[in-house]
Structure 1
Amino acid sequence: MHDLPLQFLGGGNMADAIIAGLLASGHDAERILVVEPESARATALRDQHGVTVVAPGAPLKAEAVTVLAVKPQVAAEALAATPVPAGALVVSIAAGLSCDWLRSQLSEGVRVARCMPNTPARLGAGVTGIWADADIGEAARAQIDYLLGAAGATVWLESEAQIDAVTALSGSGPAYVFALGEAMAAAGQQLGLPQETAEKLARQTLIGAGRLLAEETATAGELRARVTSAGGTTAAALAELEAGGLSALMARAMAAAAKRARELSAPPTHDEESEH
């Protein structure tokens, strides 16, 4: 599919990450078009990736997969300025925009898929939850997998409502890991380590544990059990975490994120801010 025509409405960080992944996998830069209103950003995309960048209002092609990659509060304006032709496939990575809302802004016959990627996509190490109507077709699903696979793993969801759970788990999830790294480094300093040493140890521990999760077939729970000897230091630490309500706290945190995701699914206005 390296010659699949692609057109991006918006050339921000996530679009940039997907484009970089596509080009690294061998996709033809001449088959990628980006609609980007900011001249400095447009120049950067041209110089860095060699793709075609045009201003809003340029005609789009029905046969090209269209990626909606704008902030949700400007989505209506972007779609009005650069209409998507009837029959096209639209893949939305704009947070919070429901498929019903998207269809209300698009021509009849435009097929829609809604996706939630996450920031490790910049390194090709992301994961994207995807929802699309069953009648979207196997060919379109393969195109979506190809497109988003450039940013990492893909997971197809059973219902659009599950997008909110994906947002709470993997969309916001990198921030949870970063917060854990902050807390570990701070605790290391409290135990007498220099700041630089504590931060290096925390960072590399998270990197190494992530690699184990990626490369081992065991579940997270199984990996945890492997490194937890009865009566040992790890068991003592984990007992304190559980006594402090780690599992319940994470459940509450993700429930709050999912609730906010549902609230952000209301029709966007220019005054609203996008957030994970």
Structure 2
Amino acid sequence: MADLSSCKIAFIGGGNMASAIIGGLLSANKIPKSHVSVSAPSEATRSSHAARGVTVTPSNVEAATGAHVVVIAVKPAIAKSVCEELRGAWDKLAEHPIIISVAAGTTVGAMREWLGGGRVSVVRVMPNTPSLVGEGAAGVYAEDVDDSQRGLVNGILSSMCRVVEWVDKEELINVVTSVSGSGPAYFFAMVEHMTASAKAMGLPADQAARLAQQTCLGAGRMMSESEDDAGQLRRKVTSPNGTTHAALVSFEKLGFADIVDKSMKACVERGEELGKAYG
């Protein structure tokens, strides 16, 4: 099924990523509310989704029944039990829905095994939290989807992601995590420290925060709209022996590049550990 408007989508789990995707789909009028169902154990979570006009239920099987696409958006520790529950309900079906997994660290192979093997098409997605405001980036991996299924997945993800990148090796999803999945936290930390430093040097905290936040936002927009890469943009804003040059020289002396490299590698290594722990 390539037509998103006639697609029925079930969300197993109603947390941030499910909310981001549903919000994007509904805001863009890509799918009728009646075609969206959400299962969640929390009554508060179900109520928040019901307020959007979609169908809610505490039953995973009920939510997934009749769906063309099932988004599994649960914590990795319960992904196996959720999949096995769905498998029990689907065993007699001639065709399974497409599975989109946003369960961190859970491999495509494990998901397919838990869901019943070769008949199941599983797409593994690593989105990030800016998806909540329609500015997301996502890495995607799958082993057995056709062009129609790929187009359907792109249509769903593009509702809340500006960038959707398909990778050809599953281990690269951990690299995607280190760049964009965890990446927003790096920028939050940078703005946090810039704000604290400016405050320590005398700027009122609220002014420092507003200036740092807008600087981050503006720099990001420049990168997304410019034909220049980040390195060239950096060079353009750095006058020889000027104030920016002084700051960047300090970064270099303190090993900034090495800090970033080691931090991203630590993120990848933790992703690999989670993959081993959760399949």
Assess same fold via TM > 0.5.
Answer: yes
Code of the aligned partner of 1:3: S
Q: Which residue of 1 aligns with 2:222?
A: 212
**Partner amino acid for 2:216?**
L
- 8 Å contact 2:38–2:63 — kept in the other structure? no
* Structure 2, unpaired ranges of 5+: none
Report how many residues are paired.
267
Aligned to 1:120: 130
1:217 and 1:61 map into 2 onto residues whose CA distance is 46
Residue in structure 1 matched with residue 36 of structure 2 by the alignment: 32
Of 52, 75, 81 in structure 2, the residue corresponding to residue 77 of structure 1 is 81
In the alignment, which residue of structure 2 is the partner of 1:249?
Answer: 259
Residue identity opposite 1:98 in structure 2:
T
What SS does the corresponding residue of 1:110 show, helix, strand or coil?
coil
Kindly provide the CA deviation profile for residues 72-91 of structure 1, in whole angstroms up to 9, marking residues without a partner as x.
11112222333363432101
2:149 to 133, 136, 140: 140
* Number of the residue aligned with 2:159: 150
The answer on whether the counterparts of 1:25 and 1:150 sit within 8 Å (CA) in structure 2 is yes
Distance, in Å, in 1 between the alignment partners of 2:152 and 2:188 is 32
How far does residue 145 in structure 1 lie from its aligned partner after superposition? 0.4
Secondary structure (helix, strand or coil) at the match of 1:223 reads: helix
TM-score of the aligned structures, taking structure 1 as reference length? 0.92
CA spacing shift, 1:30–1:236, aligned 2, 3 Å: same
* CA RMSD after TM alignment: 1.6
Q: Equivalents in 2 of 1:40, 1:77: separation in Å?
A: 22
For residues 95-135 of structure 1, give each alpha carbon's deviation from its aligned partner in whole angstroms, at most 9, with x where no partner exists: 010111111210230101111000000001010000011x3
Is the 8 Å Cα contact of residues 59 and 82 (structure 1) preserved in structure 2? no
CA shift in 2, pair 1:128/1:165, >3 Å: same
Question: Residue 2 of structure 1 contacts residue 28 of structure 1 at CA under 8 Å; is this kept in 2?
Answer: yes
Task: State the match for 1:273 in structure 2.
Answer: none
Which residue type is aligned with residue 13 of structure 1?
N
Instruction: Structure 1: give runs of 5+ residues left out of the alignment.
Output: 270-276
Counterpart CA distance in 2 for 1:136 and 1:198 is 48
Give the Å deviation of 1:204: 1.2
- Structure 2 residue corresponding to 1:102, chosen from 111, 117, 120: 111
Is 1:58–1:82's contact at 8 Å kept on the other side of the alignment? no
Seen in structure 2, the aligned counterparts of structure 1 residues 69 and 243 have a Cα distance that, compared at 3 Å, is same
Change (3 A) 1:52 1:62: closer
More moved, 52-61 vs 121-130: 52-61
The residue type paired with residue 100 of structure 1 is G
Structure 2: distance between partners of 1:149 and 1:236: 40
2:9 to 6, 10, 19: 6
One-letter amino acid matched to 1:15: A
State the 1:59 CA deviation. 6.3
Distance in 2, Cα, partners of 1:59 & 1:173: 32
Please tell me whether the aligned partners of residues 8 and 66 of structure 2 are also in contact (alpha carbons under 8 angstroms).
Answer: no
Query: For the Cα contact (< 8 Å) 1:62–1:87, is it kept in 2?
Result: no
Indicate the SS of the match to 2:99.
strand
Percent identity between the aligned chains? 37
Deviates more, 1:94-103 or 1:54-63: 54-63
